[in-house]
Structure 1
Amino acid sequence: MTTSPLDALLAAPSPAACATLLEGLTPAQRRQLGPEALKRDKALRDEHWSDSREEQALRRERSRVLAMLCFFTVPPSDWTPRLLGALPEEAADLAAKLRPDWLEDAAERLVALAPSYFWVARMLMRKGVSRRPTHDNYTTGMLFLDTRFHPNPFDTDPRLLEHEAWRLFEVEGSGELSLAAKDKYTFEDKTWASVFLRHMRQGTLERGRLLDATLGALERDFAAFRAGWFSRFHEALEPTPEELARHRDRYLRLLGSSIPATVSLALDVVTALEAREPLPVDSALPALEPVLLARHKGTAQQAVKLLKALGERESGASRERITGALASGLAHEAVDVQKAVLKALESLAKTPDAALRTAVEERVDGVAASLKKHVQAWLGESTRPTASEPPRTADKKKPSGEPRAPASPTDARFAVTPIASLDELLSALSTCIEDAGNPMEVERVLDGVARLGRQRPDDFARRTSALAKRARKLSAKTYGESLAVRLAGLALAWLASPGEAHSTLREVPEPALTPGHEVFLPLLSERISELARALDAGREEGLLSMPTHEGGWLAPETLVARLLARAPEAEEPPLADLCLALCRLAPVRDSKALESLKQSSRSRSDAFKLVAWALGLGKSAPDTVDVSVSVARRHRGETPESEHTFTVKARRSGKFTFHDLFISTSPKPIAPGKLKRQDIPGLMLIKENGGGGKPYPRWAATLWPSGLEAFFASHAEELAMNIDWSEANWSNVVAYEQLLHPWLRLGSMARLVLAMGLATKEPGEHGVSVDAAISALATGRLTAEELGEMLRELRPTGLINLKRLSMTLARVASASEEHAAQVALAIQRALRKTSEDTAPRDEGTLVKLLLELLAQTEGRLTDAEAWDYLQGTSHRKTFEALAPTASSTAPPPPPAARRTTPRRA
């Protein structure tokens, strides 16, 4: 048995011993050692980590030595960050001695792998064996060292100030390797900003060049977070008026930046320059005009003020150009900016000329409703409506018609078509194991296997070979996605030899359950097991629980027909299938189906009797007492979901508000220990169904479609914690999607979820919520009073951001004039007095939106309690002209007169 020189090296590893070994080898011998070094490195990585500190230290030293070996024996084209992860700086000393022919670009190759190789690359460069890297990682690598615990690189290697320091102003960086990220959590005296300023004061960094480099970084439009560092550093430099004036044109160009903080900085400088010495209109005007539409209204208002100052000192054609530019500010979304623009225009042009009139008229449609009459009066057209706004008639404010009724859940447009052929089943199952995002597709597949699973044409093996291969690969991943693994198991059971479906399924290991999946994954596993048993037994009756309509609804007449189609001698249907069918029953009745039940229930099975009793045929429950009885009882109405009361509280602690909801249910649901898997309503009332991917909550929502209040309650706490998107949970949007169902009458939990959705930060979530609010208000599934009452409950808790809520409510109001009137009514209800002594933060945005909507609809306050509240705020004078009158506060008609559709479909 031959020994290797690496045995002794790894027994007592050190960079010095490694250098001695490599120095004694020729270039050819070092290349021959490369494959063995790679094998030893892989073996070390595969070793189990020891708990012994001595063993851990030995392993780390071996990693350093092997990295050094691989650096000199493996071709540079084969280098990887994992291979050279622990490369020590001593490698640079050895490189200076060995000087292999590939060293010239070794530093470049190293930093291209990872910024952490900065110091090794730097040492190679300083030894004169490698050129200076040009890769950005060489620059950001300086930031890799944690300066909270180690000296700053500028202090340990002052030569970095000659070139590398300036590159930090040219390279943006990413993630944790940027000046902004490094200084965010560092003490002031150890920040990179303080180091730059210290060297500037010491004279080792030129002040003028620092200011120039800072402006250059701001001109590059780095991401807002990283650009913010340079804005703050500019402020710390405290430029003199002379320095600011020297770079005047650059500050004007920065007004066009896409970063709000940069625009704000440049605008402050330009304002200061104008106060010191008048700016030339030809250069200032084009730079300032885009700022009128800045996202932050304070910046836009400052631009209006500066343009007004320019206009006051100019005359003739120059003033006309300034007023024409100011007119573009009327397109800003903030009313305060529009108001400032209008005042500036009135001050600069008492009577608008033809060009200014045209510029204003082009934008008058976007002007806030509360300002339109003011604009038209200034234009001298107070009696002429705009081109896009027809003259109002006496009944314009009345709704164009009665709101549409909520749709029936069994409407033909929502029908789900069962799988009709083997080819369709094969295609659907192949799709579902890759993407199970549509729960109705999963249900179609389950039903398709139940009805068509015994079909075996001659070319069955060939047609299903690709699916079988993919299913075996997925099922072997015990750490894989739970739903995909279970559906892969279904595919393998279906494709197994006759009589071996269940045994094949049992060989597929199921991933462990994760929180949020306890409701439907065990139920799905049970249903798949029953399908496998049915395949082995040769049964092909199909599923009782297969939905007939989107949302999981099952038409009662279809369930009756499925039961009648079963052979009299057939076994009782699986309990999971029966219970799910009962939970999915739609609240509609078919006289022919009920007549069939009356004629057949006495001679049929216990399952048939239970379905008949659930649909109201019979005053007492069947003799067979089972968990399915509790399911049927809930559907029958003896313990209807509507009787459950959900109480919501938001936790507060001093001036801080935690985004936590506490939801209690009355009466209390069945104790968890007494629940059985088939009691889906009971499970929905006690389980928190958050987490995981989007398919899970989508599928869970179809288990008990008449009990979506429980579904919303089970998700509300998680949704509340994610309102401000402190941690993105992409499955949250599914809860908001359920609000879109045209048959759903929004109960208290649905209204809670809608209110949170309108205030959530994530665009996809509040976008879906806006669509849901528009639809629900238009179809009568939600009233303005109900929405307003929910907002009133949440307004003082701090749970929802009122500024964000105002923006989404404005989008709802823009759907139609009737929506605008409904949102105005909802806001009035939300502004009633609460138990809190102080007004919530950003409440003014909600008040301003109400003012605009009242102006738009030519309405006034109709809620006396809201007026009582507003009288005690700073908004009293604004609303005095809109105070409610005796007629406007008359009680609304009784509910029966206002709503002709049932509260719940």
Structure 2
Amino acid sequence: MDHWEEIRKLVEERRADRIAGRITTLDAAARKEVASRLPGLLKELRGRSDRWDDSLVRRGSALRVAGAGTLGGAAAVASWLYRRDFAPQWAGPDNDVNLVLAVIADRPAAWRADLAERLALRTRAADDRGMTLALTLLRETGVEPPAHDPLAAGWVSRRPARLAADPLLGHLLPRLFEAQGVGRALRGERNPREGWLAALTGLAETGRVERETLVEGCLRRFLLGGTANDLRFFVNLHEALDPSPEEAARHADDYLRLLAASPGPVATLAVRRLRGCDLAAADLAEAWDCLLFRQERTLVRAGLAWLDRSVRRDPALAAVIAAPLARAFAAESVEIQVKAVELALAHAAAMGEEGRAVVREAAAQLAPHLAERAVAALGDTPGDGEAPVFAVFAPPPLPEPRERSRALQPPPASAGELADLLEWRDDSWQSWERLLAGFVTLVVKDREAVTAALRPWLLGDSIWPSRGETWERRASRPPWLFGESAWPHQGETWERTDQWLWGAVRALVTAASGKGFCRTLMPSTDLPAPHRLLLHRAAEVMLAVGENTLPPLLLATPTHDTGHVAAAELVRRMEVVEAAGARPLAADLQQALLRLPRDPDSEAAARAARLTSPAGAILAAWTRPEAEVTFDRPREQGEPGPTPVITAATTGLPLADLMFRASRRRDGDGHLDWWPSTLPSHREVAAAHLVPYALVGSWGTRTVRLEQARDLVRAEGPVGEAFSTVLARTLGDPRTSEAADVLVEAAARDGLPVAEIGSQAGVLVAAGRIKVADLTATLDTAARLGAHESVWRIAAAALPTLLPAPGERSRTGLAGFVTLAATVAGWCGARGEIPEVRDLAARRGGSGLLREVRALHDLLTVGPAEKE
């Protein structure tokens, strides 16, 4: 057998190891012949493969080794090694690096150096398939690595074994602090006793690398900027190096430059180092000015504490603190404003007249009672009949509320649009409703076109997850989806609407019916009612596709982004179904009835009375049930709340009646974000279903989020304790930074149960479900956006629960909450004694909380004008 036939046979047998051994024995002419025949073999193998036959990929290593050992130029070898034909980008790291190195070992040094540089420049990411080969060749050849960011990121992505002896250390260590992608590759390195942190600090301890080089590198990286995630490793490395005060002093200017705009962890690091330095007064003033201008409350608090300690140690520094304190007066947090005022008053005497004038002028940014206290203590109180010398912040009026609902985007109008939506939809209920409606309508209209469009999706042509779909969800697509088995195995249940949709597509493309599986695939009856309704709607579509009984359209597809279906449109859809001689799907009809608006439409009612089908008669006779939500036992102090009970007249429709029964919390997602859209005219009932999730306190457990609260605010129907519980939980959740906007929108509408919201907020704080500081921050923002009257009533209702009883410790952040209450009470001109505030104000003591409580009590009972 000649050498080419032997190489060809070994490629067919996928014996890359034997190819490597055989090639090393070939002379130049034989290698040239093999190189000339390889493209033809590749073309032949490609022709024998189809999209789902990975025989070419499985022979990739053999082809790579054969090409590396026989092709002439370094450029040709670099291109051949990473052809996507036999080694697609997602195939994982190379497993044949040693074989490739073996077949090129006898090439000239300059050739191998050229190949090393070409391979290095071809890398595009830290986990690039060719990274290992490129790094190994660079080490072996000793050539200087190119200044290529992915190469540096790939270097640090490998374990730093024997780093001191690595030939690349001198070249790539400086790039570690400059190349983009390095911080992202190392962001998981947190333990200073292992990994790259231990390796680099070890090099510094042994003298292999100068400590100053690493410290300067970290600072240089901080000054280049980046996100907190990108800089996390360098923060950890800097802290592991732990520069001494003397070392930090040499870089004081760099640390000062980091205070104004660097991410929080970097600024915190800079504060820690600067506090150990002997800084001039001008530098201290610059540092405090930068810190007190920032948005992060922790950094502002650190700046105020640093300022206070420094001035107490050296009173002469009071001459430079006026401008930084004036910055803090403009903080959004009332707690920060209070602390800044206290410091201004404590150091007023040493501040000088010029400094006091700066602070008096800045007092215009404070809440009225704080501004009055600051200006009075700084010696500029107006006399009788004189106007104040400062302007009081006036909160804006409530903005006009956003229109309650807007038209929902229509479903896809063609099979191509349907396939695109299926591939790229997000995880919202709006996308799901559009997808389901488009699927049903288009399958009835042109079943063949939809089958052709969705067949590649079913078979897995799309390897990437849909937008909003996690890799976990993508990996959970059932095996039968890709043809591995006819239908799911016994005992499996489907708890996600996507699974039923996959089943519908499967039934469409394969003409297989899942009728015998529907009952067993539906989860047990302990699912919450909204979740069960969603699954039934998806399941009946799958069943109807398999039995070819789909109606021409769905009835329940919302016409508005609140989830409502306009009455006139629902009647029109029913007319279309009747004209086609079809029957609407049962769950779809019941969901459509639950989505009708509360406002009657007499014209639509008259048209509904002329419908002739049984489903039309149900629609014509439909009367919206009025539900009452109560709780099964009285709420007790410190408890998050009892289980809601829903009472409503039965409708005779099983799924509709199920929606008016309370749900208990169940682990898992359950499409929680979609639930308000299933009951847009019964928001208190929708909130009752969410209450068990609002009371969850552990991290990692699904709870209500901003989207549900916003949907409830825009829905229709009476509100009560359930609605208030959900909204209160959202107001105190630190992960919902836009919760203030939801409260402002709710306040702009009539009927917001502010007293109940405040009461529920107090209960949630007492139960440990939310924190006072998070609740204060949200209410503070909402008050400054115009909802100050609602915020005052919420705060007044929460105070009786939040204030400590005799002998009880106060909660962290409570003084700031009381200060906020006093601020909004001043804006509203609120008066009237609160017994719990009165009793606490009468206690002995001088804590910050007691001072704020007394100020609030005086404001409510005496008023500023009557104070002595």
Fold agreement, TM-score > 0.5: yes
| 1:731-760 deviation digits (Å, cap 9, x = unpaired) | 954322322226343333322221222233
Contact 1:684/1:714 (<8 A) preserved: yes
The answer to whether the aligner puts 1:108 opposite 2:120 as a matched pair is yes
Match of 2:629 among 634, 642, 648: 642
1:221 Cα deviation from its structure 2 partner? 3.2
| 1:544-572 deviation digits (Å, cap 9, x = unpaired) | 76878774557889989999999999998
- Relative distance call for 1:430 and 1:260 in structure 2 (3 A) is closer
Match of 1:216 among 195, 217, 220: 220
2:709 alignment partner AA: Y
Query: Which SS does the other structure have where 2:209 is aligned?
Result: coil
TM-score, normalised to structure 2's length? 0.70
- Relative distance call for 1:663 and 1:708 in structure 2 (3 A) is farther
**CA–CA distance in 2 between the matches of 1:121 and 1:562?**
63
The answer to whether the aligner puts 1:757 opposite 2:730 as a matched pair is yes
1:722 Cα deviation from its structure 2 partner? 9.4
1:813 Cα deviation from its structure 2 partner? 2.1
Match of 1:712 among 687, 697, 718: 687
Question: For residue 5 of structure 1, what is the aligned residue in structure 2?
Answer: 7
The answer to whether the aligner puts 1:91 opposite 2:100 as a matched pair is yes
Question: For residue 33 of structure 1, what is the aligned residue in structure 2?
Answer: 38
Contact 2:142/2:167 (<8 A) preserved: no
The answer to whether the aligner puts 1:681 opposite 2:682 as a matched pair is no
**CA–CA distance in 2 between the matches of 1:737 and 1:642?**
20
- Relative distance call for 1:194 and 1:686 in structure 2 (3 A) is closer
Match of 2:713 among 724, 734, 740: 740
Counterparts of 1:122-137 in structure 2 under 5 Å? Answer: 122-128=135-141, 130-137=143-150
1:680 Cα deviation from its structure 2 partner? 5.2
Question: For residue 878 of structure 1, what is the aligned residue in structure 2?
Answer: 852
- Relative distance call for 1:801 and 1:313 in structure 2 (3 A) is closer
TM-score, normalised to structure 1's length? 0.67
Contact 1:221/1:258 (<8 A) preserved: yes
1:507 Cα deviation from its structure 2 partner? 7.0
Query: Which SS does the other structure have where 1:520 is aligned?
Result: helix
Match of 2:783 among 813, 828, 849: 813
1:650 Cα deviation from its structure 2 partner? 13
**CA–CA distance in 2 between the matches of 1:10 and 1:590?**
74
Question: For residue 247 of structure 1, what is the aligned residue in structure 2?
Answer: 251
**CA–CA distance in 1 between the matches of 2:224 and 2:121?**
27
Counterparts of 1:420-569 in structure 2 under 5 Å? Answer: 472-474=452-454, 477-478=457-458, 518-523=532-537, 526=540, 551-553=562-564
Contact 2:368/2:393 (<8 A) preserved: no
Match of 1:579 among 590, 594, 601: 590
Contact 1:586/1:706 (<8 A) preserved: yes
Gap regions ≥5 residues in structure 1: 50-58, 392-396, 455-463, 493-501, 616-634, 653-660, 889-905
Question: For residue 765 of structure 2, what is the aligned residue in structure 1?
Answer: 795
1:92 alignment partner AA: L
2:215 alignment partner AA: L
Question: For residue 896 of structure 1, what is the aligned residue in structure 2?
Answer: none
**CA–CA distance in 2 between the matches of 1:170 and 1:327?**
37
2:590 alignment partner AA: C
Contact 1:555/1:585 (<8 A) preserved: yes
**CA–CA distance in 1 between the matches of 2:824 and 2:413?**
52
- Relative distance call for 1:67 and 1:387 in structure 2 (3 A) is farther
Question: For residue 624 of structure 1, what is the aligned residue in structure 2?
Answer: none
- Relative distance call for 1:592 and 1:683 in structure 2 (3 A) is same
Counterparts of 1:642-661 in structure 2 under 5 Å? Answer: 642=629
**CA–CA distance in 2 between the matches of 1:470 and 1:568?**
23
| 1:285-323 deviation digits (Å, cap 9, x = unpaired) | 4455322223222332145348858995479xxx5x764
Contact 1:476/1:508 (<8 A) preserved: no
Match of 1:258 among 262, 267, 271: 262
| 1:63-116 deviation digits (Å, cap 9, x = unpaired) | 765554455556423526557622324533543412457525234146446457
The answer to whether the aligner puts 1:154 opposite 2:163 as a matched pair is yes
**CA–CA distance in 2 between the matches of 1:287 and 1:531?**
68
- Relative distance call for 1:580 and 1:269 in structure 2 (3 A) is closer
Gap regions ≥5 residues in structure 2: 467-495, 863-868
- Relative distance call for 1:415 and 1:291 in structure 2 (3 A) is closer
**CA–CA distance in 1 between the matches of 2:575 and 2:206?**
94
**CA–CA distance in 2 between the matches of 1:487 and 1:337?**
57
Contact 1:545/1:577 (<8 A) preserved: yes
- The CA RMSD over aligned residues, in Å, is 6.1
**CA–CA distance in 2 between the matches of 1:141 and 1:416?**
49
1:526 Cα deviation from its structure 2 partner? 4.1
Contact 2:673/2:708 (<8 A) preserved: yes
Question: For residue 197 of structure 1, what is the aligned residue in structure 2?
Answer: 201
Query: Which SS does the other structure have where 2:354 is aligned?
Result: coil
| 1:10-46 deviation digits (Å, cap 9, x = unpaired) | 7594647514425524245335335646987998997
2:271 alignment partner AA: L
Query: Which SS does the other structure have where 1:642 is aligned?
Result: strand
**CA–CA distance in 1 between the matches of 2:239 and 2:508?**
73
1:373 Cα deviation from its structure 2 partner? 0.6
| 1:529-555 deviation digits (Å, cap 9, x = unpaired) | 889999999xx9x98768787745578
Percent identical: 19
**CA–CA distance in 2 between the matches of 1:417 and 1:210?**
56
Question: For residue 751 of structure 2, what is the aligned residue in structure 1?
Answer: 781
Deviates more, 1:806-815 or 1:243-252: 243-252
Question: For residue 772 of structure 1, what is the aligned residue in structure 2?
Answer: 742
The answer to whether the aligner puts 1:822 opposite 2:829 as a matched pair is no
- Relative distance call for 1:547 and 1:503 in structure 2 (3 A) is closer
**CA–CA distance in 2 between the matches of 1:431 and 1:775?**
34
**CA–CA distance in 1 between the matches of 2:344 and 2:106?**
76
| 1:762-790 deviation digits (Å, cap 9, x = unpaired) | 3xx441x3333233344443323201221
1:372 Cα deviation from its structure 2 partner? 0.3
1:808 Cα deviation from its structure 2 partner? 0.8
**CA–CA distance in 2 between the matches of 1:534 and 1:61?**
42
**CA–CA distance in 2 between the matches of 1:743 and 1:884?**
40
Contact 1:429/1:445 (<8 A) preserved: no
- Relative distance call for 1:415 and 1:82 in structure 2 (3 A) is closer
2:274 alignment partner AA: V
Question: For residue 291 of structure 1, what is the aligned residue in structure 2?
Answer: 291
Query: Which SS does the other structure have where 1:253 is aligned?
Result: helix
**CA–CA distance in 2 between the matches of 1:162 and 1:269?**
28
